[in-house]
Amino acid sequence: MKSAIIGGLSHAALRTRDIEKTARFYREVLGLPEAFRMAREDGSVGTIYMYFAPGQYLELFPDGTGEAPREKDGAGFCHLCLMTKDIRRAYEAVRAAGGPLDSEIKRGKSQCLMFWTHDPDGTEIEIMEMPPESLQAQADARLKA
């Protein structure tokens, strides 16, 4: 049996029509605390992360857009993000298994390490390692109960 390279679901990403309204819904109606925000180059809100549990988030994008390699228009589901403790090992395992590699390993805006693949149906999958300096790891330390 292969050893698992995936440790769990890190986040599901949604494109929103009104990011503040959507964040307010998840915060006030469903009780999820806001973990952090990331700005676009123009200073506007680019991403809001809502916190479920350590390492588990809902990622919200504004304007009905996402930042995945094959960005789509319209609100709704954008991509899945799976977590790993060793991004290089995960990348090489996907390559060795003949899986598609849609990007090289790179550092994201949140200081995570990531690469992209997709399943046979085209679902975009981000594989992410969250080192201590990442905004996700910092939010985990601040928000875990």
The domain limits of the chain are 13-143
Q: What is the mean pLDDT of residues 77-105?
A: 93
Class of CATH domain 13-143:
alpha beta
Note the pLDDT of residue 85.
94
Listed in sequence order, the residues at least 6 apart from 2 whose beta carbon sits closer than 8 Å to its beta carbon are 93
Confidence at 1, pLDDT banded by 50, 70, 90: very low
Over 60: is that where the pLDDT of 127 sits? yes
Nearest to 139 by CA among 50, 79, 11: 50
Note the pLDDT of residue 73.
64
Note the pLDDT of residue 65.
55
| pTM as predicted | 0.79
Nearest to 77 by CA among 68, 86, 89: 68
Integer Cα distance of 18 and 111 in angstroms: 26
Over 70: is that where the pLDDT of 86 sits? yes
Over 90: is that where the pLDDT of 17 sits? no
